Amino acid sequence: MQTTTVLLIVIAALVSFALAWYQYIFKKKRSRLHLGLSALRFGFLFCLCLLLIGPEFKKFTTYEEKSNLVIAVDNSSSLKTEYGEADATKMLSELLGNKALQDKFVLRPYTFASSLKASDSLDFSEAKTDISAGLDAINEIYRGTNTAVILVTDGNQTLGRDYEYIRLDEKLRVYPMVVGDTTRYEDIRIAKVNANKYAFLDNQFPIEIAVSYAGGKSIRSNLTVSMDGQQVAKETIVLSANENSALLTPLLKANRVGLKNIKVSLKPIPGEKNTANNSRTIALEVIDEKTNISIVSAIKHPDIGMLKKSIENNEQRSVSIITPNAPAKILEETDVFLLYQPSRTFQNIYDFIQRKGVSTFTVTGSKTDWNFMNKAQSLVIKEDLGQTEELFATQNEGFSFFDTSDFNVAGYPPVLGNLGDLIITKPFETLLYQKIKGIPLKDPLLAVVEDAGTKAAFLFGENSWKWRVETYRNQKNFKNFDDTMDKLIRFLSDAQPKSRLDITYESIYEGAGNATVNASYFDKAYVFDPNAKLVLRLDNAVDNFKREIPMLLSGTSYKADLSDLQAGDYVFTVVVEGENISKSGRFKILDFDLEQQLLSSNYAKLERLAIAQKGRIFYPSQKEILVETLLKDSRFIPIQKSTQNVVSLIDFRWLLGLTVLFAAVEWFIRKYNGLI
């Protein structure tokens, strides 16, 4: 308590005493009644003064802060081995039940596979392992705190970036506990098979096959490639301890249109224990046409390379970058023109487009000649004020030309556009609206036009390359942006009229984990209908398998989860109940379990991780040593901390009650004795 407060309390007591003494004792007969009333008056005045002063004092509370002990256990199917499952389950149970660890640490159990989960329940059912994602999540949660991480895993990662090179907070220590079979066996395996998703009819297409060998001998094996059950390539491979990998690129012929099942097989070597990784199945689709897109530009800009890369992410698209004076032969072969910041040099291009009725995607910006554009085409008219502005994007959830439910522009950086009134003369829908300096506008930033066979798209801003970079920054891939660009190009290149039912799916799924079918349904006014009932009817003729799956509303689309399906070829139809509307498709789920490709634990990589994070590697037989190491480590000694709180000397409610009580009693006694 401060000296000033003590002094005020003393003065309050003296003043209260003086006033009570003066009123009831000074120059009066000293009776018991007067002494009692004097005491009541003193109590009333003193409590009133204390209420006004509000005396406070500092209260110190000490407590002990323990370090965190994170026990993260691999819950992927790769631990379903003779030793892995039992060792991991036993390790989690014994560590959580250790009394000494409980006294020193706050125990935090987690499981991880493709992501981190706060749980102590294990079923070893997940199909992918991303150790780096688990460590990143732990690092974010416990950043800046003394934390020990016991990483119970076999060290085999099938997803994400290499965890060996991850850099965590300096206060985080990692202690890998290696479970599973640590014995090194001789093994030859197909490490990777790369191929495009699409091939074109009557063309040859390459597949890339990476083969690796773990062992100390010189071995020989035969590699065969079959397509739809027929052998189409065969090679002999010789590997050794020094030359332990090979890369092969056989050329295959696309003879018929449709999904093609390609199986790559290696003949097992003598004594090989793990043969699950000796074969790999992929699939691709043979198509008989390709969409040609020409990007027309008279200037150089990062957007142009980005658009080419994004569009060509779909192998069915071929993108050429041409100048406005390109020869007529190239123009004739173009299915969609992407006009980048048109100027007067584009006159021949616009003349060709008007004659042929070709779809266009126009991107405008600071170099666009709007005086020319207003005369060269009639879809868009804009008043150019000669001033540019940063334009942010906001999404139109009611856009109906194609499914954009997975497209999210939140947080996207601005593009650079021209100020001025804008008029679109044909029926259109806005995919993205403009927002300037935080103020949402009704002016379109990305609009799509469809009228009487005319299809066109307009992006009224340059520097959209930043959007694709932002997508990668947020999601570690370009899929969100590239998929939307693919849907836009598909819409522009499709000669069919607008449909009330659109479906989105992959032709090939590598395992059923990510298999989904999305659908968007619109009413007769082409407004998204969230109250429709959509059903997906599945059919697998080989297994005589049939199923109906209700599609669930997810944002602005309907979704069917197919993650429980077995590998195979499926035909499906999406039906709108109560309407004579349906759409069909087919897809293939490949029989592939990435978790079973590696048999032995990767203790060498885990040891390098432990060294980098100032920890130490352990094995199940060294559990007691691990516990002792953690208990003796001075970095994890509990820290005694204190908190300072300023609290009232006396609760004001008690003071107020006493004040009222003293005043009431005094008044009652005075009245009873006729002193009022």
Model confidence at 469: pLDDT above 90: yes
pLDDT > 60? residue 269? yes
Checking phi first, is residue 91 left (phi over 0); if not, alpha (psi -120 to 50) or beta? alpha
Task: Output Rg (C-alpha) for the chain, integer angstroms.
Answer: 38
pLDDT reported for residue 343: 93
Query: Which tokens in the block code for residue 674?
Result: 């006729």
Predicted local distance difference test score (pLDDT) of residue 1: 59
The tally of CA atoms less than 13 A away on the side-chain side of residue 291 is: 25
The whole-angstrom separation of Cα 211 and Cα 264 is 11
Give CA–CA dist 438/387, Å, rounded: 19
Average pLDDT over residues 431-456: 88
| Count of other CB atoms within 10 angstroms of residue 256 | 10
In what helix (H) or strand (E) does residue 157 lie, and over which residues does it extend? Answer: none
Confidence grade of residue 431 (pLDDT, cut at 50, 70, 90): very high
Residues 457-462 have a mean pLDDT of 94
Position 71 scores a pLDDT of 93
Q: What are the structure tokens assigned to 396, written together? A: 């139109």
Spatial contact of 49 and 658, defined as CB atoms under 8 Å apart: no
Mean pLDDT across the chain:
86
54 or 361: which leads in pLDDT: 361
Give the pLDDT band (50/70/90) at residue 464. very high
Going from the N-terminus, what domains does the chain have, and what CATH number goes with each?
A: 3-61+644-672 (no CATH), 67-183+600-637 (3.40.50.410), 187-287 (2.60.40.10), 291-493 (3.40.50.880), 501-594 (2.60.40.2950)
State mean pLDDT over 215-238. 90
* Cα dihedral sign, 253-589-82-150: positive
Distances (CA, A) of 44 to 6, 10, 653, 676: 19, 15, 14, 18
Q: Which residues contact 601 (CB under 8 A, 6 or more apart)?
A: 84, 154, 155, 156, 178, 179, 180, 181, 182
Q: Are 548 and 574 in contact, with CB atoms under 8 Å apart?
A: no
Cα 2–chain centre separation: 54
Euclidean distance between CA atoms 450 and 74, whole angstroms: 52
CA distance 404 to 480: 10
Given this model, what pLDDT does residue 597 score?
Answer: 67
576: nearest Cα among 627, 649, 502: 502
Torsion of CA 376, 382, 386, 389, to 10 degrees: -130
> What average pLDDT does this structure show over 191-197?
86
pLDDT for res 216: 82
Pair 179, 87: CB distance under 8 Å: yes
Cβ-contact 149, 174 below 8 angstroms? yes
Per-residue pLDDT, 360: 94
Confidence of residue 596 (pLDDT cuts 50, 70, 90): low
pLDDT score recorded for residue 296: 95
For residue 635, what are its two tokens?
Answer: 């970095």
Range with the poorest average pLDDT among 166-170, 456-460, 540-544: 540-544
Query: Would you state the pLDDT for residue 398?
Result: 81
Q: What is the model's pLDDT at position 675?
A: 65
pLDDT of 672 reads 77
Cβ-Cβ contacts under 8 Å for 495 (sequence gap 6 or more): none
CA dihedral 374, 377, 381, 386 (to 10 degrees): -40
Q: Cα dist. 654→16, 48, 287, 650, 659 in Å?
A: 19, 12, 86, 7, 9
The helix/strand/coil state of 110 is: strand
The distance in angstroms from the start CA to the end CA of the chain is 41
- Are residues 258 and 216 in contact, defined by beta-carbon separation less than 8 angstroms? no
pLDDT in tens, 132-179: 999 999 999 999 888 999 999 988 888 888 888 888 888 899 999 998
**pTM of whole model > 0.75?**
no
CA-CA distance, 206 to 143, in Å (whole number)? Answer: 47
Helix/strand/coil for 339? strand
Over residues 386-399, the pLDDT tens digits come to 888 999 999 998 88
The sign of the torsion formed by the CA atoms of 488, 492, 495, 497 equals positive
3-state helix, strand, coil in the chain (%, to 5): 30, 35, 35
Q: Residue 595: pLDDT band by 50, 70, 90 thresholds?
A: low
Dist. CA 595–CA 291, nearest whole Å: 37
**175-210 b/e (C-beta count within 10 Å ≥ 16 → b):** bbbbbbbeeeebbbbbeebebebbbbeeeebebebe
Per DSSP, the residues of 558-605 read EEEE-TTPPSEEEEEEEEETTTTEEEEEEEEE----GGGS--S--HHH
Cβ burial of 144 (10 Å; 0-12, 13-18, 19+) is exposed
Nearest CA to 454 out of 380, 555, 397 is that of 380
Residue 57 pLDDT class (50, 70, 90 cuts) = low
Q: Which range (55-69, 477-491, 557-571) has the least confidence?
A: 55-69
% of the chain exceeding 90 in pLDDT: 34
Q: Which tokens hold the place of 96?
A: 């959580």
202 band by pLDDT with thresholds 50, 70 and 90 = confident
pLDDT digits (tens, 9 = 90+) for 278-303: 888 888 888 877 789 999 999 999 99
- Which residue pairs from 537-546 have beta carbons closer than 8 angstroms and sit at least 24 positions apart in sequence? 537/572, 537/573, 537/574, 537/575, 538/562, 538/565, 538/570, 538/571, 538/572, 539/570, 539/571, 539/572, 540/568, 540/569, 540/570, 540/571, 541/571, 542/568, 542/569, 543/568
Is residue 61 scored above 60 in pLDDT? yes
Q: Which residues pair with 545 in a beta bridge?
A: 540
- The DSSP line for 438-487 is TEEEEEEEEEEEEETTEEEEEE--B-THHHHHHHHHHHSSSHHHHHHHHH
**List of residues 6+ apart from 504 with CB closer than 8 A:** 403, 487, 517, 518, 519, 520, 557
Q: Measure the CA–CA gap between 511 and 579, rounded to whole angstroms.
A: 33
pLDDT 10s digits, 614-653 = 889 999 889 999 999 999 888 888 777 666 666 666 766 7
Q: Look at residue 594 and tell me whether its pLDDT is greater than 80.
A: no
What is the reported pLDDT for 496? 66
Average pLDDT over residues 406-426: 89
